[in-house]
Every structure is written in C-alpha cells, then in structure tokens.
Amino acid sequence: MSSTDDKPPPLSIQDINNIITNLKNLLTSDCAEAEITVATNTAANSPTGNEQDGSNRTGNEQDGSNRTGNEQDGTNKQDGDANQAQETNDKKKEPLYELGKLCKELDYMIRSFQNLENLKNSLTEPFKTLEANVNDIVSDLEKDELRKQVQHNLRVFRNNITRVKILILLQLQAASINSDGNRALQTTFATGEAGDLPYLYRQPIFENSYYFKEIEEKYESLDDRQKLCLLCFSIFPENAEIKKRFLRFWWVGENFIPQNGNDEMGDLNDTLTTFVKKRLIEPVLKKNRLQPRSYKVTPIVRSCLIHFAKKARFFDYDPDGKPIMDFSSCNKACMVKSERATASWFADYLKGNDKDGNSEKPKEQQQHQEQGKLSADLVKLQMLFNFLNKEKLISASQQIDKLQTLFNLSKQFPDLPTEWFSKMTGIKVLYLGRWEATAGQARHIEVEDIEFLKGFKNMKNLRLLSLQGISGIPKLPATLCKLENLRILDLRACHDLEKLPERIGSLKKLTYLDLSECYLLDYIPQQLNKLSELQVLKGFVILDAKNSCTLDDLSELSSLRKLSVNVNTTKFNIDEAGDALAKFQKLEKLRIAWGWGGMPGKEDSTLDSSSEQQQSKTKKKLASSISSAAAKASTDKVNKGEEKGNWERSAVAAAGEANSKTAKLGGGLRGTANIALMAKKWRRLSMKGREPQNLEGLERLVKLDLQCFPRSEPPTWLVPRKMKKLTNLSIRGGRLGYLNHKDGQKWNVDTLRLKFLVNFKMNWKEMQQRFPNLKYLENLRCPRITFCPCDANGVWQKFVQSK
C-alpha cells in the first residue's frame, strides 16, 4: 500500500465543528466540577453564623461583658485564618476563569465554521443558476434565430454574478467584525441576515399589533392628497434616503401638489412637516446643513405603507414587500433589476420554438403552435419586464396605454421597446434616471440606443421626464419638443449630452429645467428664452459659440426665480453681466461657477506667435480703447468732479504703462499675451466708472453663490447698497481678496459661507461691523480670516436666548 493511501481523508467543516463542540462540552463539565469543588472548600473553611454566635455567647457567659486580651488574640487568629482561606479559594478559581475564556474561544470557532457552512449552502443554488446561464448562452450562440436572446441572457448572467458577489461580500463584512472585542456580537452579525428586521408585510401577527394600529390611525387622519404623497415612500428600500428635490419632482408630476410658484414649495414643506410631526418619516440631518434635504422611513413604517399601498393599488409588490414590474393590477410600475432567471414559461416557449424549427410536425399541430406564438413586440416586453406568466404579459400589453407612472428603481439598462414606448399615451411620470441620494459610488445607468426616445411624440400627458445620470444620450430627439404638458425636465448628469433640440422653446408649460453636470454641452439654443413659465434653470452654460443663448436672452424669462450659471469662456465679464442681471424681474437665487474654460490665462496660452496680423489688430484695439477711456475719463471729471479725476489719473498711468510695454515688444507669443492682458485690464477699468441703470433685478436677489471667482477684486455691482434683500452669501474657491464696503454701508446678510479663499482677508471684528445681522458663519480653509470663534468644523452660529 502506498504512503498516500495511509493518509486519513481531509476533515470536512462538519467534522471540525463536531470535534470543537466535544472539546467545549468537556471543558464545560470540567468547569462545573471545579466550581463545585471550590464551593465545597469555601464552605468548609468558613464558620457558619450560628457557630459564631455560639462562640460569642460562650465567651460572654465565661467572662461577662468585659473582654480580656487573650480573647482579642483569639479573634485576630480567626481573621487571619479566614484571609488565608480566601486566598486559597482565589487561587483555585483562576483555572476556572481560564477554562471559561477557552470556552468562549471555542464558541467563536464554532460560529466561524458555521458561517463557512452557511456560505457554502447559500452559494450552492446561485452557482447552479450561473451554470445554467452559461449553458443557455452557449446553446443560443449556436443558433442564428436566437442571437437576440443571447443579449438578454448576458444581462441576466451579469446580474446573477453581482448577486453572488454581494453574498460573498456580506460574509467578508461579518468576518471583519470578528475581533476579540466584538465576539459577543456574533449571534447578530454571523450570517449578515440575523440582525435584519424580518419581513412584516402580510404577517397577521404584525397587522394585529399595537404598532400597526397606531400607524394606521395616523395614516387615516391624513387627507387623500397627503395619503398619496406618503405612499410614495413605500417603493424604496429600507433606510433609503430620499431627496426633497426628488419628492418635489414626483409630486408635481402626479399633480399631488399645486403648480403655483411659491405655493408649490409651500405645500411641499407643509406636507413633509406634517409627516415628520406624526413620526411617519424622519429627516436626515447632516453636518453644516441648517435644513434637511433628505428623508427616510423606518422599517416598521415602511411595512405598514406597503400594506396600505397594496390595498390602494398604488403599486404592486411581491410576497416579500418588494415592488415588481407588473402593472396589470394598477396604473403604476417600477423597473427593477431581475433577481431571478427568465420566467420558466418564457424559457420553455423559446426552447419550443427552437425545437419546432428543427423537426417536422403534423400540420394541425404547427397551426396550433402558430396561434400561441408571441409577436416580436410581446417578446421584447417580456424580456424587459419578465412577467411570471403569459396571462399577465397579455393583460399588461392591452393596458399599457393606461400606464401613468413608470419609475426606474434599480434597473441598469432602461431601454424600452420603441413600439411600446410610443403606446404610453397616458403616461404622466417617466422617471428613467437615478434617484439615489447616496454619497458613495453612483449607480451606473446606460442606454444602448436612443431610438425609443422618439416615442415622446405621443405622450401628450407627460408632466415629469427624468433622464438623470443616464449615459449614452448624445442628443435628444426633436419629438421632445412635442411634450406640450411637460412641467419638469431633469437632464442632470447626462455626461454624454452635447446639444439640446433647437425648438426647445415649444415647451410652453416647462417650469423646471436641470442641465447640471452636463459637461459636454457646448450649445444652448436661443429659443430657451421662449420658456415663459420657466421658474428654475440649473446648469445654464455661457459659451463662446455662435448664436448661443446669453444672459441678456435669459432676462426675457419673466417667471425665472432661480438660476445657476457655468462659465466656460474667458470672454465673459462679470461686471458687464450686472446689466443683464438687473433686467430679471423675479430672480431671487443666483449661482455663478467658473469652469476650466472660463479661467483667465487659458486663451493667452493658445496664442500663435507667428500671427503678425493678429498682433497688429490687438495693438490697434488697445490704442483705441486707451483713447476712448481717456476721453471718457476727462468727461467724467468735468461732470462728476474729483472722484473721477482719481480714476483718470489711474487710467493715464495704466495707458503709459501699456505704451511702454508695447514699445518694447519684439513680436511673438510674449508680446501678444501682454497686449491681451492689458486689453482685459482696460475693459475692467472702464467698468469701474459705470453702474447698471436699473437695479431692480439685483435688489431682488436673496441668495448669491460664487464659485471659483477668477479675480481678486469683487464685481462692481456686489455692494450692500444694491443688494438690499441679500440674506445668504456664499463664496467658494477662487482669488477673491475682499468685499466692497463704500461709505460704511452694512450688509443684511445673516448666512455667510466662505470656503477655500486663500487671498480673502478679514478679521472677526470687521466681520461683525460689516455683517451686523450675521447668524451663521462657515469659514473653511480661509487662512487670512482671523479671530473667528468657529468650532472644529469651521461653523459659528449666533446663540439666541429663548424668552
């Protein structure tokens, strides 16, 4: 017999578990015996209370009430014997303590091996599913008529792999908790599921409990509109953070809250406040945020909401309380990632079709099968929604025109068949983009083809369209402009979007347009100023493009209240922008951010040193600007006195400096760059002597946010006299060094945020004098702002004593 045959077979996990269990039982019995022995010895060495009383009585009978010295010595001797017995007992207890520690260690080992066994058992079925997926893909590749099914199987295969990875990750997370200090927690975190709240949906015990009755009573106290708003929280996972902005989108799209300007935000805040007071939802409070921007529901409340939503046919759910894509019983549907393989009936149908093509069958049987054959549109719809049976597929296809809400909850590829997309004539809310508010890695969403978007032409009732975070959309079809009832268009973070439709001005009822984080957007149609009802515009890009929309064009939007601007050209002049901003009629909130394309010095680095003609043109332009500035300065001196005379002397000095530099230029890149810089300087100097004629637009501003400001001096219009209603000022990044304070005027700002300003200089005393109404200050990484009593997070808040 060989040496390899003599080796014992390797132990399984169960064998190791049994050995450790037996060893633990043995140690436990030893601990019990040692405990009994110690207790017996302790009892033998310690006199009982009666014996002590008897000895005391004897002493009293013999000697009376007085004690002699010999009796005291006897008492001391007894105390010494007791101490010695206690030390002996402590020494005997030390092995008992050590045995107890070993038992705990063995418990830890047993749980660890049980976790491995659980991992093995939990991965058995998923690996069988992966094997079946691979076999299906390989078999379909060999058949030309099933090539399209391969793409669907690949997506299912990818989803199943992700599921297995998550299972393994849960075990790794549980193992990271297995430190010596946390071993008491193993009963909760051992499997990654033991600590989770069990599903309460459809549990009779829960539905008859006090908690359910209490929440049901609160729910019934709401009006019908508030009930529908609350049921929107039922489709999200446990402890998911739902943004306030997203709730506003959805509720406006469903017409749950009125679309009446400020009343819309008022109703939104009132509704959320009501839910918070009734403890139906919880606000998510984050650092340095005065007001919550996200909300969530507890698992118990969520289970109740699922019950209410199912009863009201708001959404449909599976037995575990998860929303499903079946909309045959309601007019709302969720797009969720498929966690199971292709429905068994559909898999059999595909295999049956394959077999029919490779065999000869009677004519009657072929006719019967042709009658049950699915059309290409039905096959696409089933591949997308994966209905459990054929009857639900047929029912859904017959009422797809009644679908009012389609929400992408977790699907990565939300491509819809063009035929079915164009049949959604009753759709009101189409949310295909990302909704998550997590700060970590965002969910990737992508479309392979944008042909299905041409179905917009039939969606006459659509009020909300969100494509947030979807990749693969370089442009939007012209049919988008036919959405005559569209209120909200969310294109945030569409990173591949390059242009908007030319006739976007046809969306007459549009009130909210978000173009934020569309970094490839290089053209804004001028027809944007035709959106007469537009109230919020985010991500407007100022470009150096021909016929692109400008701030002057936007000033025609009479209803615009909130505007965020991204500057991507060095030709933008913030001082000249004051004239355009003064024309806005209702603008209250403004954010201007300078991107890489708008930072100074960019265009200077691209100048061609061999362009002599361009240099001569620049010199002529500089000379013309110098002469015009000098003439204007002399006129201002006559009309306005010595204040403009100071500006004239600075202009003459700058002109002399420019002439001396121009005379020394020998041509080439350096000379052209200096001339361009002097031209910019003269444009800036020329703006110091003029102010906007109409200040109404600036006076209405309540909130102003400047990001990456490229100059050290502030805009000429940013002064307290013109910003009378400004209460919130934020300046983040850039080169700004100070704020204008002419004639001792003071700001009405009560919230001030200053971040990453290296050159900004001010001390706490000056800040209190210039901002007497200040209640909240955020000072982050501004080294020249000194003596501010901010906390470790750079925040200071004024303490208001309650009466």
Q: What is the pLDDT of residue 323?
A: 85
CATH code of the domain covering residue 215: 1.10.10.10
Q: Based on the domain organization, do 277 and 137 belong to the same domain?
A: no
- The answer to whether residue 363 is domain-embedded is no
Q: Based on the domain organization, do 125 and 165 belong to the same domain?
A: yes
- What's the angle, vertex CA 471, arms to CA 554 and CA 708, rounded to 5? 50
Q: Residue 542's beta-bridge partner residues?
A: 567
Residue owning tokens 């007992």: 89
| Across 211-238, average pLDDT | 92
Q: What's the CA gap between 455 and 463, in Å, rounded?
A: 15
Q: What's the CA gap between 711 and 636, in Å, rounded?
A: 26
CA neighbor of 569 nearest in space, from 591, 546, 547, 541: 541
Q: What is the pLDDT of residue 356?
A: 42
- The answer to whether residue 614 is domain-embedded is no
Q: Based on the domain organization, do 211 and 297 belong to the same domain?
A: yes
The winner for highest mean pLDDT among 141-155, 332-346, 646-660, 760-774 is 760-774
pLDDT higher than threshold 90 for residue 181: no
Tokens at 376, concatenated: 């290409």
CA 487 distance to own-chain centroid: 23
pLDDT higher than threshold 60 for residue 604: no
Q: What is the pLDDT of residue 598?
A: 79
- The answer to whether residue 781 is domain-embedded is yes
Confidence tier at 352 by pLDDT (50, 70, 90): low
- The answer to whether residue 108 is domain-embedded is no
Label residues 433-467 b or e (16+ Cβ within 10 Å = b): bbbbbeeeeebebebeebebbebbebbebbbbbbb
Q: Based on the domain organization, do 171 and 210 belong to the same domain?
A: no
Tokens at 101, concatenated: 């520690």
Q: Based on the domain organization, do 258 and 298 belong to the same domain?
A: yes
- Looking at 134, 158, 175, which one is the last position of a domain? 175
Q: What's the CA gap between 580 and 560, in Å, rounded?
A: 13
The winner for highest mean pLDDT among 137-141, 582-586, 653-657 is 582-586
- The answer to whether residue 679 is domain-embedded is no
Q: Based on the domain organization, do 231 and 162 belong to the same domain?
A: no
pLDDT higher than threshold 70 for residue 68: no
Q: What is the pLDDT of residue 167?
A: 63
**Residue percentage of the chain with pLDDT more than 70:** 65
Q: Are 49 and 10 in contact (CB under 8 A)?
A: no
pLDDT higher than threshold 60 for residue 550: yes
| Torsion 757-763-764-766 (CA) sign | negative
Higher per-residue pLDDT: 287 or 247: 247
- The answer to whether residue 248 is domain-embedded is yes
- Looking at 314, 346, 364, which one is the last position of a domain? 314
Mean pLDDT (the chain, rounded): 75
Interhelix angle 262-277/244-253, nearest 10 degrees? 110
Q: Based on the domain organization, do 309 and 207 belong to the same domain?
A: yes
Q: How many CA atoms lie within 13 A of 540 on its CB side?
A: 27
Confidence tier at 10 by pLDDT (50, 70, 90): low
pTM above threshold 0.85: no
Q: Which contiguous run of DSSP H or E holds residue 246?
A: helix 244-253
**Residue percentage of the chain with pLDDT more than 90:** 35
Strands (E), 620-727: 703-709
pLDDT higher than threshold 70 for residue 656: no
Alpha helical stretches, state H, 324-362: 344-357
Higher per-residue pLDDT: 164 or 409: 409
Q: Based on the domain organization, do 159 and 233 belong to the same domain?
A: no
Show the domain range for 236. 203-314
| Torsion 210-211-216-219 (CA) sign | positive
Q: What's the CA gap between 442 and 215, in Å, rounded?
A: 33
Q: What is the pLDDT of residue 260?
A: 56
Range with lowest mean pLDDT among 219-223, 276-280, 386-390, 468-472 = 386-390
pLDDT higher than threshold 60 for residue 209: yes
The winner for highest mean pLDDT among 48-52, 291-295, 728-732 is 728-732
Range with lowest mean pLDDT among 4-13, 151-160, 285-294, 347-356 = 4-13
Higher per-residue pLDDT: 683 or 728: 728
Q: Are 103 and 126 in contact (CB under 8 A)?
A: no
Range with lowest mean pLDDT among 222-226, 233-237, 743-747 = 743-747
- The answer to whether residue 209 is domain-embedded is yes
Q: What is the pLDDT of residue 529?
A: 92
CB-based contacts of 328, cutoff 8 Å, min separation 6:
316, 392, 395, 396, 399
Confidence tier at 398 by pLDDT (50, 70, 90): confident
Higher per-residue pLDDT: 470 or 364: 470
Instruction: Count up the domains in the chain and report the number.
Output: 3
Q: Based on the domain organization, do 160 and 209 belong to the same domain?
A: no
- Looking at 314, 348, 364, which one is the last position of a domain? 314
pLDDT higher than threshold 60 for residue 633: no
pLDDT higher than threshold 70 for residue 325: yes
Range with lowest mean pLDDT among 183-197, 404-418, 424-438, 511-525 = 183-197
Confidence tier at 522 by pLDDT (50, 70, 90): confident
Q: Based on the domain organization, do 214 and 290 belong to the same domain?
A: yes
| Across 194-199, average pLDDT | 44
3-state secondary structure of 248: helix
| Across 366-374, average pLDDT | 57
Q: What is the pLDDT of residue 169?
A: 57
Q: Are 568 and 595 in contact (CB under 8 A)?
A: yes
CA neighbor of 734 nearest in space, from 767, 705, 758, 715: 758
Tens-digit pLDDT profile for residues 662-680: 333 344 434 444 554 555 5
CA neighbor of 379 nearest in space, from 358, 395, 394: 394
Confidence tier at 753 by pLDDT (50, 70, 90): very high
> CA separation (Å) from 179 to 184, 272, 508?
10, 42, 62
Q: Based on the domain organization, do 213 and 164 belong to the same domain?
A: no
> CA separation (Å) from 237 to 37, 249, 327, 446?
56, 19, 19, 22
Q: What is the CA radius of gyration of the chain?
A: 39
Residue owning tokens 């043995």: 26
pLDDT higher than threshold 80 for residue 751: yes
- The answer to whether residue 243 is domain-embedded is yes
pLDDT higher than threshold 70 for residue 660: no
Q: Based on the domain organization, do 221 and 310 belong to the same domain?
A: yes
